[in-house]
Structure 1
């Protein structure tokens, strides 16, 4: 691997904007909600769909309070039932008794997102068990593209298009060869700022649905990881509830020097998204009301994902009434308090900053504030041990350091040694060895009271950058 080549891979503007969303919600709602299933057959009557109190405003308000920045709606799951009145099938809300056949869940959700300051995304399952043309090649691809265009042109700006890799037909079932190129071109034409996720070229599925994240997550990876067949091969093959709670350790290193040592092919910017559900299942089931993940468990997932150079997509399944259940709402409110406290707290703020050298400078105070401006530090080219030191005006107690690099320049940082000075001492005490950083890294350390913090960048590609440094006391 040419290290300079790897260091020069940078995100597209749409990928950079997506990464800054950090944490957003999945809404699995549809026919399965009313049949108490995870995977429908496609033979269900549209009359079964009848939410009595559909309330996307409650979904959006709950998501906002939880610290989320957007919602992605399952506009059509594998059963093929459409939450909007598609012109290309009768298997839609238009054939239900809900709102006398005049309802549109997609429209109401998009409007609620706009009202509560969230971005809106769509999930459109490529696998459709209700559509007669599925498995026929071009006729089905035409059908899918037509539905995709409806969603891309009728509901305002879309920030993410989520393409599920699941296909459960089995070796003797229907086999559809999706026209991925045409799908991507359609999204680019109608929503050029949207990222295409999972079976797409912009955002990589982390590889499981349990919230597991790699110790070091690289956004610069071999281009072959965008192979949609590989994604489908690892995706869910059957209606198996246990799939969402398990993971393997395969490919736990995708982009390190060691992983790429013998690789000579192209590299791409292909960042990871972590998707998991607040409940054991993806759709609502009343018998799971006592199995909702706790706020502490969810905040731990948040720290691993958003603090591990990934984003977190957390599923919130509404009840058949069309509202989120009270256990979920309560947990999400508690989670939001933890997320907001983390985002607003920086125990290093006000410290005196010194850099070992400066090639690209920034106001010292900017290092402690989250900003969309491209302000960052880069050491001089001849600096063999780039170092950032923060001396605090008074001692603080913390157990985590938060780092962000300027990923618009690429992902460069490989290893950082963190050390602290305790009050009344001059010795530097090592507290953490930090690996990749990328967009953001939350590095836990032993809880202690410190007077100063020092970071020494010991391995990097070309040069390190640093746009944010924080200190927190996390639960």
Structure 2
């Protein structure tokens, strides 16, 4: 079993810290597939089919913001190769369509709308292109891809995420492009140094499914081998099969415990998880799915497990063929936002006391981030934070977060509630990281205590909150 000090010494980059604090942001799948009612277009569809007469990027962004999202990632080009901006290296773009008389730019409209409404903007650029003739040729296609990546990273302002998957659905008998990932990464680092490179990239790890499922314990410090883009690609979707969107594998459930890290102590990286799923069964809008929008209850449960499970939550919301989100999606997003806001508003006012050291602003740093975390004395073998209420509360959740600029150190916590002088256990967890939200049946208590029973090094706690 590995010593805890090696993983405790691994720290996130500034871009990873800023990304984690975003917590919840949106994906917008929109393009030629929207017009043809497909998930994976085959390429070469007539650009004349792209004419979303009512396209309203402000409506998209307002709706995402109403759900509490902090950013948006747009599918600038999906596997079919149709570009939502007027690329200089292909004619298969919006410039060849009747939309906006061939002078439109969806990427620009979404980026500008995001800025107007205070959301950060990100891009998805599919490495697989079913239209481009150079696909499968090696360096020539890499040149093409780099040219498009450069256009997107230089024309539309700051980008918070470059979201890359390893899709190559042509299989063993089709064209095969060996992607030059390192070259792609270098361009992103040069042109948008604050952007995280997600999934098939070194900054943000795919959770391993598209169903919104979160591991029981999500660790940010993992073996470097998990960054292998080819391995990730092999586990990504390989066919236009809607069942993949709800597939949850039972393997790889433990990526970062001491047992999982044994033998990798000298080759660890900070590689935090993102949980992604769609508000509908498909990633693109399909009229037949208008009655299958996920419920607020289901989405809020995913939110609690993702944002409350040391991950960020990426929720896809696809506009329809006319360029607008459907009313059902908009309504669910608004209700989800109210649900999240209401959950945060139920933070019980409390006075914090600690087993050693000074509590800083640990009891008032949620929602949001405090400036003075709590660090117990190194000799404190069972450090704990006690929140005492002015009157008994029905408590139903505890929020705990580490100051991840010091790494991920907590390995086990126990939450107890006090009533009439007696303490009872309410919840336990292993990994904490940026944030852990533990829910339990409503229990009346005049105080709650979060005790850290195992840690890799002296813990540094950013926030502890009780939800009543």
Measured against the shorter chain, the TM-score band is over 0.9
Q: Which residue of 2 aligns with 1:388?
A: 385
Q: State whether residues 222 and 265 of structure 1, in contact with CA within 8 Å, keep that contact through their aligned partners in structure 2.
A: no
Q: Which residue of 1 aligns with 2:187?
A: 186
Q: Which residue of 1 aligns with 2:410?
A: 413
Give ranges in structure 2 of 5+ residues lacking alignment. none
Q: Which residue of 2 aligns with 1:293?
A: 294
SS in 2 for 1:428: strand
CA distance, structure 2, for counterparts of residue 159 and residue 343 of structure 1? 25
Q: Which residue of 2 aligns with 1:3?
A: 4
Query: How far off is 1:373 after superposition?
Result: 4.4
Q: What CA deviation, in whole Å up to 9, does each residue of 1:442-474 have, x standing for no partner? A: 10122111101111110001111211111124x
Q: What CA deviation, in whole Å up to 9, does each residue of 1:238-295 have, x standing for no partner? A: 0000100111111000000121224344000000001100000000000101110001
SS in 2 for 1:397: strand
Q: State whether residues 419 and 432 of structure 1, in contact with CA within 8 Å, keep that contact through their aligned partners in structure 2.
A: yes
Cα distance, 1:371–1:68 mapped onto 2, change above 3 Å: closer
Q: Which residue of 1 aligns with 2:253?
A: 252
CA distance, structure 2, for counterparts of residue 395 and residue 412 of structure 1? 32
SS in 1 for 2:145: helix
Q: Which residue of 1 aligns with 2:356?
A: 357
Give ranges in structure 1 of 5+ residues lacking alignment. none
Q: State whether residues 19 and 196 of structure 2, in contact with CA within 8 Å, keep that contact through their aligned partners in structure 1.
A: yes
Q: Which residue of 2 aligns with 1:457?
A: 452
Cα-Cα RMSD: 1.1
Cα distance, 1:412–1:367 mapped onto 2, change above 3 Å: farther
Query: How far off is 1:435 after superposition?
Result: 1.5
Q: What CA deviation, in whole Å up to 9, does each residue of 1:287-325 have, x standing for no partner? A: 101110001110000001000000000000000000000
Q: Which residue of 1 aligns with 2:244?
A: 243
CA distance, structure 2, for counterparts of residue 273 and residue 230 of structure 1? 17
- Residue 437 (structure 2) pairs with residue 442 (structure 1): yes
CA distance, structure 2, for counterparts of residue 134 and residue 265 of structure 1? 38
Count of residues in correspondence between the two structures: 467
SS in 2 for 1:467: strand
CA distance, structure 2, for counterparts of residue 383 and residue 137 of structure 1? 57
SS in 2 for 1:258: helix
Q: State whether residues 366 and 375 of structure 1, in contact with CA within 8 Å, keep that contact through their aligned partners in structure 2.
A: no
Q: What CA deviation, in whole Å up to 9, does each residue of 1:366-409 have, x standing for no partner? A: 54544444420011011111111121101111211111111010
Q: Which residue of 1 aligns with 2:19?
A: 18
CA distance, structure 2, for counterparts of residue 364 and residue 38 of structure 1? 48
Q: State whether residues 39 and 78 of structure 1, in contact with CA within 8 Å, keep that contact through their aligned partners in structure 2.
A: yes
- Residue 228 (structure 2) pairs with residue 231 (structure 1): no
CA distance, structure 2, for counterparts of residue 105 and residue 365 of structure 1? 43
1:311-390 matches, within 5 Å, as 311-347=312-348, 349=349, 351-358=350-357, 361-364=358-361, 366-390=363-387
Q: Which residue of 2 aligns with 1:400?
A: 397
CA distance, structure 2, for counterparts of residue 280 and residue 96 of structure 1? 28
TM-score by length of 1: 0.97
Q: State whether residues 346 and 368 of structure 1, in contact with CA within 8 Å, keep that contact through their aligned partners in structure 2.
A: no
TM-score by length of 2: 0.98
Q: State whether residues 403 and 469 of structure 1, in contact with CA within 8 Å, keep that contact through their aligned partners in structure 2.
A: yes
Query: How far off is 1:365 after superposition?
Result: 6.6
1:1-400 matches, within 5 Å, as 1-347=2-348, 349=349, 351-358=350-357, 361-364=358-361, 366-400=363-397
Q: State whether residues 107 and 156 of structure 2, in contact with CA within 8 Å, keep that contact through their aligned partners in structure 1.
A: yes
CA distance, structure 1, for counterparts of residue 365 and residue 335 of structure 2? 26
Query: How far off is 1:418 after superposition?
Result: 0.9
